[in-house]
Structure 1
Amino acid sequence: MSAASAETIRVLGAREHNLRNISLDIPKNKITVFTGVSGSGKSSIVFDTIAIESQRQLYATFPAFIVNFLPRYERPHAEAIENLTAPVIIDQKAVGGGPRSTVGTMTDIYALIRALFARFGSPSTGLVYDYSFNTPQGMCPECDGLGMTVTADPDKLVDRTKSLNDGAILLPGYGVGSGDWQLYGNSGRFDLDKKLADYSDTEWHDLLHGSGGKVELTFNKGTWKANYEGLADKFTRSRLKRDTSGLSEKTREQMQKFLTEGICPACHGARLNEKALATKINGRNIAEWTALQITDLIEVLEQVTDPAALGLAEASRIALGRVADIGLGYLSLDRPTSTLSGGEGQRLKMIKHLGSTLVGMTYIFDEPSVGLHPRDVGRLNHMLEALRDKGNTVLVVEHDPDVIQIADHIVDVGPRAGVHGGEIMFTGSFAELRVADTLTGQGLRRAFAVKDAFRAADGELRVENASAHNLKDVSVGVPTGILTAVTGVAGSGKSSLIRDEFMARYPDSVFVDQSAIAASSRSTPATYLGLMDPIRKLFAKATAKPASLFSFNSDGACTECGGRGVIITEIAYMDPVTTHCESCDGRRFSDEVLALRLRDKSIADVLELSAEEAVEFFPEKALNAKLRTMIEVGLDYLSLGQAMSTLSGGERQRIKLATQLQHSGTVYVLDEPTTGLHMSDVDTLLRLMDGLVERGNTVIVIEHNLDVVAHADWVIDLGPDGGKNGGEIVFTGTPAELLRHPDSLTGEYLRLYKDGSAIRGR
C-alpha cells in the first residue's frame, strides 16, 4: 500500500441499503460533508458502512472477555473498506441516562464542581461523594436524590361527587362491599351515603390519613380484624414504598393514574441532603451553583480568588466555556438530560470529546446543525474545525449550507431518494459544488427571496401572561387562517411559548413533533398508516388463504426470526445486537407465504415497495389515498415495510403529519419540520403547509430555516437571546417587516441572506 493511499479512507463496492456498488476515497484529517436529498444514501455510506465497519474492526482488537460484553456488528455489504481509524459516533439519539442524569453529570463538569466544594467550601466535609446526589452520602433521604417525589393524589384516588356506598373509591379492588372497601365502609367513621365533597376537614383527613383502631372485615370464609389505615397512606405503603420492578407494565400504568409528581418538600428540588447544602462558596451552595445559567456560572467561577482553588475553578470555567461556545450557555448544570432536544444532546456529546487528547480518530456527526439558529451555526463550525485541527478525520452528514461551506471535501449523493438514489453524484470542494449540476448545487445557487404578498388572518388565538420556563409574562396573539413562523435563537422561549403555553390553552390543536412514535419494534409505515389490514385482505382474496397468513406478527412469520427479519440478541448494559436472518433473508415471512402472489408480487415484495411505487401498484381507492399522503409529505422514497425505529426525527414527524392531512378548520403546530430536509425537499414542505392553509387550517411552525421564515405570512420572533436573556417578544409582523427590524437576530440573518452577504440556508 502506498503512503498516499493510507491518507484516505477507501470504500470499494458498497451496496448497503440503496447504495449502487459505489466506490470512493475520503481524505483523512479533513472535514468531509456528505450531502444529498433525504433517503439518497448518505447515512448508508457514513453510518451503516464506514461507522459500522470501524466499530466491528475496533472491537475485534479487544480481549475475548471484553468482546463478550460488546455489540456484534455484521460486516457491511461492500467489497472492501480500507484505512479506517477508531470511530467516535455523535448522533441525535436521545441522551437518556434516566432521572439521575443531568447536563452536569453527562459532561463530567459536575464532578469538578463537587471537588471544588469538597476542598474549598465552608463548612466542608472534605469528601467529594458527599456532594453527589447519586450516592447515599449526598442524596436527599426523602427523594433519594431525584429532587422530585411521587405521591398519591387524593383527587385521583376518589370521586368526591359520590358517597362510599356509591363507589367513591376509584382504586382497583375497592368496589363497594369488597374487603378493601370494608376497611372504610365498616369502620363506623363515615356516613356511607354522604358525598365526600360534604365531608368535614376531620372526616377528609380521617379517610385519607387516619389511623388507630380495628375494623372487622367479612369474607366468605369468616371475619377478620384489620388495623384501620387511611386510604392515601395505605396506597403509598403498599404500592409506592415497595419494589415495583416485579409488577407488570399494566399494573404500573394503573398505579400511575393515581399519582402526582411534585418538587421534593425536603430538599426543594436540590436533590442533596442538608449537610451537602450547608457548604457554601462565596455565599452560594452547590445546588445554587448548578441552577445558574451556564454563562452566569462562568462569571461566578471568575470570582473565586483562593489561590489553592484557582486550578479547579479554571478547569471548570474552561469546560463550561465549551458549552457556551456551542450555543448552549442558556442551559444549567442541573437540567435533566431527558428534557434536552436531539440537537442539544448531540452538541453536548461533542463537548465531551473536545476535551479529549486522543488524535487520529474519525468523528462522525449526524446533522449537528439541527435546532440551531443561523447565529449559532458559526459556533458549531468552529468546533468541527477544532476537532480536525487536532489531527482527526471529521465526517458530517448535513443539509445546512453554512456547515457544508466549511468542508475540505464534499460527497454529494443522489440523484434522488430510495431506488432513485444510491450513487455518488459529485466529489470536490464547496466552490465546485456550487456550479455542479446536482440538486444540492442547484439549491446553493438559488436566489433567496422574501415574499411580498401575505395572506390575511381571519382571527387570532391569544396567549396571555405566559411565564413557563424563561418566558417573561408574555402576551401575544397567534393569527388564524394563515402560516405563522415562531423564530428565535436556541433557548429564546419558542418551545416554551408554543409547546407549553399555547398547547395548554388550545389542546385540540394537532401537535406534530419529531419524538419517537409510540409503536412496537415491529411497526412500519404500512402498519402506522393502517395499510396492512386492507393489503392482507387483498392477498387473502387473491390466494384463497386466511388473511392472518400475510402478517409477520402472526401465522405467516418466519419461524427462525419470529417475523422480525433479524435475530435480536439482548446483552446486559448494552444496546441489543441485531443480525440478519439467514432463514428468510430478512424478508420476515415463511417460504410458504413468500410463494403466494398478488399481481405477481409476494407480500414481502409489496412491503419492499416505496410509497411512490405502491401508489402505482394499488389502484384501490382507500389504499391509494393513504399512500398519496406519504408522497404529499415528501416520503415517496420510504418503503412500506421499513422499521419505524430506523426513521430519522424529521421522517417520524412527516409520517405523523401524513395521518393528519385531511382536516379543515384545524390548528396545526409543527416543531422544526425542516429537520433532515434537503434544500430541494423544503419546497415540498412549503407546498404542503400552503395546502393546509388553503384548506382552511391554521399552521404554526417553530423554525430556524430562513426559507420557511421568508415564506410565512406572519412571524413571532422571541429573544433577544437565549436563557435568562430571552423569553420576550422581539417582533411580530410579516417577514418583509422583519427585514427592517433593527433588534432581531432573525431579521439580521434574513437581511444577510437576501443581500447575498451569506449563502442560502438557515
Structure 2
Amino acid sequence: MDPRTIQVIGAREHNLKDVSLSLPRDKLICFTGVSGSGKSTFAFDTIFAEGQRRYIESLSAYARQFLGQLPKPNVDKITGLSPAIAIQQKTSGWNPRSTVGTITQIHDFLRVLFARIGTQHCPDCTRPIQAQTRDQIVARIVQLPPDTGVLILAPMVRGQKGEFRDFFEDMLRQGYARARVDGVVVKLGEAPALARNVRHDIEIVVDRLTLTERVRPRLAEAVETALRLADGSVIVQTDHDGPPSGGRGAGWLAAPQRDSAAARRPRSRKAPTDAAPVSGDLLLSSRYACPSCGLSFDPPSPQLLSFNSPVGMCRACDGLGERFDFDDELLVPAPSKSFLDLAIEPMRTRIGKWRRHIYQAVADHVGFDLKTPWNGLSPAARSALLHGLGSTHLTFTWRWSGGVWRHGGTFDGVIAELRANYRKAKAPMVRAYYEKYMRRTACGECHGARLNRQAAAIRLNGDSIVDVGAMTIAEADAWVQRLELDATQHLIADQILREIRERLRFLLDVGLDYLSLDRAAPTLSGGESQRIRLASQIGCGLVGVLYVLDEPSIGLHARDNRRLLDSLLRLRDMGNTVIVVEHDEETMRSADVVVDFGPGPGVRGGEVVAVGPPQKVARSRRSVTGQYLRGASEIEVPERRRPVNRPRRA
C-alpha cells in the first residue's frame, strides 16, 4: 500500500460499475463528466462516506450516539483515507440565530475585542460609564421616594443551568435566610427543586427595609455586604408591599407569580401620593455607572455581547432580531366598525360589562368614544386600545344597581391579551387562527440588533459591535485596518485583530466581499454557504484532511473564479487533499489530476473514461470533456437570437 495515494477498489455504489482508481494525496483533484455519470456518487457517497465512517468508528460508543453516520458504501476496499470533510451547497439546516459573523467566528473575536478594549456608554445619555463607590450607590438608593420598601439583593447566579442544592445549603450556613429564585423569593431552607437543564437567576436577600433617614447606616452595611458577595453588583427590588421587618428578610415571602390572566386584571392601589412608589429592579454596580443618569451596568464581557446568551440578548425578541407578533393592520380588517362592534376581529366574542368598564376607563383617559368607527379614531386612541398605556395609573369605575365601585390599575392593551391567548392555545387550529393576524417584523426594542441596550452601547473608535456587524466584509476589513489604538489597547488586542483580519481576508478571497456580517444564515444561497464553509476551513489551518467540494464555482462571476481557485490551491498547499466535483474549465485546467466519468448518464455511465493531468485528459478520444478541453468540440453560439417577447400595452 502506497501511503501517498488513496486506493479505491471495486466501487459499486448507485450506478458505479466496479470502479477502481488510485488518487494522489495532497493534490487538487477534479471530478468531472456529464450529469448523472457517477462523479458525485464516487466523491461523496463512496470516498467521503467511508472516510467519515472510519473516523466516527474510531470514537467511543458513547460519543458515536451523538453523531450522524452515513451508511457503509458498496466498495471492496479503500486505503490511504484521511478524516474527510464535505463542503456541499446546502441552503437548509442553518439555525436562525446563525449569521455570517458567527459561522466564520468573526463575531466571536469581535465580542472579545469590544469586551476587552471597548468603552461602555450610557444607553440614555451616551456618556462614558464610570465606576461607583459604595457611598454613591447608597446615595442613589436614598433618592427613591421616602417610605419605599426595598429588598437589597446580591446577584449570585445569572442565567446558569443547574439544581444549586449545594449553593442553597452553603448560603444557609452563612446565615442568609432567603433568596430570590427566578423572580420569586423563597426561604433557603425550603428552596424549590430546580430543573437541571433550565437557566436560573438566583439572588441572595441581604436585607429588607423601608427607606427613611434612620436606616441609612443599615442600608450602607447591606449594600457593602451585597457588593462583597456578588463581586461588585447589587440589585434593589422595590415592588413589594407590607410593613417593615426588623430582621434580615424575616417575615417576608413573595406570593407565587401571577398567571397571565391575573396580570391583566386591574390591580387596586393605595391612594396616590406626591411621590408614587417605584416598581421594578434597580441594578447598581461598584464598577460601572453613569454619573448623570445613575444607571449601573455589569462589566463588559464576551457573554454580554452575544445575542445567543441570556446576558446579552434582547429579551423582547430572545436575540433573534425579529418578532412574530400581532400586526395592527391585520387585526382590523373592517375599519368601518367601532371597537364595541368588534373592529378588532380576533376578540371574537361580544364585549361584556366587566371588560367594557376597563375599556371605558381607557377611552375616558385618552378622550374618545368607544362607539366611534375605527377609522375615525386618532392614532393615540388606536395605540391605547391595542398596545395599552404602559405604567399610567387609571381609575376604573364599576357601576351596578347598588352603587359605584372605583378601583385603580394599569391597562396593557388588547394585543397583550391576544398574546396570552396564543401562548395558552394548544390546538393547532386555534394557533393557526391567531397566526392569521400575526406578521414577522423587526423587533421594536432592539430594532433588529439582537442585543440589549447595554451591549449595543459599548463602543470602540465610535462604533458599536452592532455597527460593525452591519458592515460588509470589505467595509469591516477597512474598519479593522483604520483602528487607532494606544499602546495598552494594542498589546491587548493584537492577537484578536490578527485572527479577525485573517478570516476577513479568507472571505474576500472567495468573492464574498458584499455580504454583511449580520446577514442571517438561512438567507444565504447554496454557493454562498459553501464558500463561507470553505473560508472557515482555510481559517482553521487543518493539515492532512480530505476535503470534498461540490461545484464551488457555481454562481461566481468570472472575475472571482480565480480568487476561489487560489483558495483551493492554498488549502492543498497546507497539506490537504482537495477533491472538487466541477464542470468549470478553468478549475479543470488548474487541477493536478482530472477524473472524467462517463461515457453517458445513468446506466450508460458509472465508468472512468479518462484520468490524469488536464493535458492527458484533453488527448483522450473517449472523453467528452477532453474533446472540449482540446477544442475539438465547442458550444455553438447561434447567429440569430430569438426575439424577446415584449409585453403588450393594455
Cα deviation, 1:550-572, whole Å, max 9, x if unaligned, reads: xxxxxxxxxxxxxxxxxxxxxxx
Report what 1:388 is aligned to.
Answer: 572
Instruction: State the 1:386 CA deviation.
Output: 0.9
User: Structure 1: which amino acid aligns with 2:328?
Assistant: P
The structure 2 residue matched to 1:273, chosen from 452, 466, 476, is 452
Matched residue of 1:426: which SS?
strand
Aligned residues: 444
Task: Give me the whole-angstrom Cα distance separating, in 1, the residues matched to 2:75 and 2:19.
Answer: 9
For residues 92 and 31 of structure 1, the distance between their equivalents in structure 2, rounded to whole angstroms, comes to 19
Alignment of 1:582-597 (within 5 A): none
Aligned pair in 2 of structure 1 residues 447, 151: CA closer, same or farther (>3 Å)? same
Counterparts of 2:582 and 2:398 in 1: how far apart (Å)? 69
Alignment of 1:587-666 (within 5 A): none
2:580, 2:641 → 1: CA distance?
37
Change (3 A) 1:251 1:85: farther
Map Cα deviations across residues 619-648 of structure 1 (whole Å, 9 max, x no partner): xxxxxxxxxxxxxxxxxxxxxxxxxxxxxx
Measured at CA, do residues 435 and 167 of structure 1 come closer, stay the same or move farther in structure 2, by a change above 3 Å?
farther
Amino acid at match of 1:431: Q
Larger Rg: 2
Match of 1:235 in 2: 418
For residue 475 of structure 1, what is the aligned residue in structure 2? Answer: none
| Matched residue, 1:197 | 375
Residues 725-746 of structure 1: per-residue CA shift (max 9 Å, x gap): xxxxxxxxxxxxxxxxxxxxxx
Classify 1:195/1:57 alpha carbon distance in 2 versus 1 (closer, same or farther; 3 Å): same
Residue 76 of structure 1 corresponds to 73
> Which amino acid letter does the alignment assign opposite residue 640 of structure 2?
A
Q: 1:96, 1:337 within 8 Å by CA — same for their partners in 2?
A: no
Q: How does 1:176-187 map to 2 (within 5 A)?
A: 177=350
Separation of aligned partners in 2, 1:100 and 1:67:
26
Letter in 1 for 2:83: A
Q: Contact 1:360–1:393 (CA<8 Å) still a contact in 2?
A: yes
What is the match of residue 15 of structure 1?
A: 12
Cα deviation, residue 170, structure 1: 3.6
Matched ranges for 1:276-287 at <5 A: 276-287=455-466
Following superposition, the deviation at residue 175 of structure 1 comes to 4.2
Q: Over aligned residues, Cα RMSD in angstroms?
A: 3.3
State the shift of 1:451 in Å: 4.5
Say which of 194, 208, 221 aligns to 2:386.
Answer: 208
Q: TM-score, normalised by structure 1?
A: 0.53
Residue aligned with 1:11, SS: strand
Q: Say which SS state the counterpart of residue 320 (structure 2) adopts.
A: coil
Please give the residue correspondences for 1:112-261 in structure 2 after superposition, counting only pairs within 5 Å. 112-123=109-120, 125-161=299-335, 163=337, 168-171=343-346, 174-175=347-348, 177=350, 195-199=373-377, 204-205=382-383, 207-209=385-387, 213=396, 230-239=413-422, 242=423, 247=426, 251-261=430-440
Contact 2:357 2:397 in 1 (8 A): no
**Distance between the aligned counterparts of 2:75 and 2:353, measured in 1?**
67
Residue in structure 2 matching 1:360, options 535, 539, 544 = 544
User: Do the aligned partners of residues 208 and 13 (structure 1) sit closer, same or farther apart at CA in structure 2, a change above 3 Å counting?
Assistant: same
Paired residue secondary structure (2:439): strand
The Cα of 1:361 is off from its aligned counterpart by 0.9
1:198 positional shift? 4.2
Could you tell me which amino acid in structure 2 is paired with residue 454 of structure 1? R
The code of the aligned residue for 2:456 comes to: L
Structure 1 gap segments, 5+ residues each: 217-226, 461-479, 482-664, 666-762
AA at the equivalent of 1:231: V
Which whole-Å CA distance do the structure 2 matches of 1:207 and 1:447 have between them?
A: 70
C-alpha change, 1:114 and 1:450, in structure 2 (3 Å) is same
| Residue identity opposite 1:347 in structure 2 | R
SS in 2 for 1:237: helix
Q: Are 1:175 and 1:181, in contact at CA under 8 Å, matched by a contact in 2?
A: no
Match of 1:344 in 2: 528
Aligned residue for 1:353, secondary structure, equals helix
1:263 equivalent among 422, 431, 442: 442
Is residue 2:562 matched to residue 1:375?
no
Q: Which one of the candidate residues 610, 615, 619 is aligned to 1:431?
A: 615
Distance in 2 separating the partners of 1:134 and 1:351: 23
| Pair 86,116 (structure 1): closer, same or farther in 2 beyond 3 Å | same
Alignment of 1:441-520 (within 5 A): 441-444=626-629, 445=631, 446-447=633-634, 451-459=638-646
1:183 touches 1:228 (CA, 8 Å); kept in 2?
no
Work out the CA distance in 2 between the residues paired with 1:412 and 1:62.
35
Secondary structure of the 2:324 match is strand
Match of 2:495 in 1: 311
Deviation at 1:82, TM superposition (A): 2.0
Matched, 1:293 2:478: no
8 Å Cα contact 1:413-1:425 kept in structure 2: yes
Unaligned runs of 5+ in 2: 121-128, 130-298, 400-409
C-alpha distance in 2 between matches for 1:138 and 1:298: 25
C-alpha change, 1:314 and 1:75, in structure 2 (3 Å) is closer
Q: 444-453 or 372-381, which moves further after superposition?
A: 444-453
Counterpart residue identity of residue 327, structure 1: G
Contact 1:369/1:377 (8 A) holds in 2: yes
Aligned residue type for 1:71: G
Deviates more, 1:49-58 or 1:302-311: 302-311
Aligned counterpart, 2:52: 55
Shift of 1:340: 0.8
State the partner residue of 1:416: 600
Q: CA deviation at 1:148?
A: 2.1
Q: CA deviation at 1:363?
A: 0.4
The TM-score, its normalising length taken from structure 2, stands at 0.62
Matched to 2:464, the amino acid is N
Cα 1:433–1:254 shift into 2, 3 Å: farther
C-alpha deviation, 1:344, in angstroms: 0.5
Paired residues of 1:328 and 1:344 also in contact (CA < 8 A) = yes
2-structure distance, mates of 1:215, 1:403: 80
Letter in 2 for 1:47: F
Q: Which has the higher contact order (CA 8 A, sep 6+)?
A: 2
Partners of 2:353 and 2:60 lie apart in 1 by: 61
Distance in 2, matches of 1:395 and 1:251, equals: 51
For 2:330, the aligned partner's letter is K
Change over 3 Å in CA distance of 1:247–1:336 after alignment to 2: farther
- After superposition, the Cα gap between the structure-2 partners of 1:228 and 1:271, relative to the gap in structure 1 and judged at 3 Å, is closer
Kindly provide the amino acid, as one letter, of the partner of residue 420 in structure 2. R
Does the aligned pair in 1 maintain the 2:502–2:539 contact within 8 Å?
no
Indicate if the aligned counterparts of 1:150 and 1:259 stay in contact, CA closer than 8 A.
yes
Measure the CA separation in 2 of the matches of 1:193 and 1:305: 62
- How far 1:166 sits from its partner (Å)? 7.4
CA distance in 1, matches of 2:380, 2:573: 72
Question: What SS is found at the alignment partner of 2:540?
Answer: coil
Which residue of structure 1 lines up, in the alignment, with residue 124 of structure 2? none
- Counterpart of 2:25 in structure 1 is 28
Structure 1, residues 85-140: CA drift from partner, whole Å, max 9, x if none?
A: 11011111126432221111110111111111111112383422221121122222
User: What secondary structure sits across from 2:325 in the alignment?
Assistant: strand
CA deviation after TM superposition for structure 1 residue 215, in Å: 9.2
1: CA distance, partners of 2:518 / 2:352:
42
CA offset at residue 229 of structure 1? 6.9
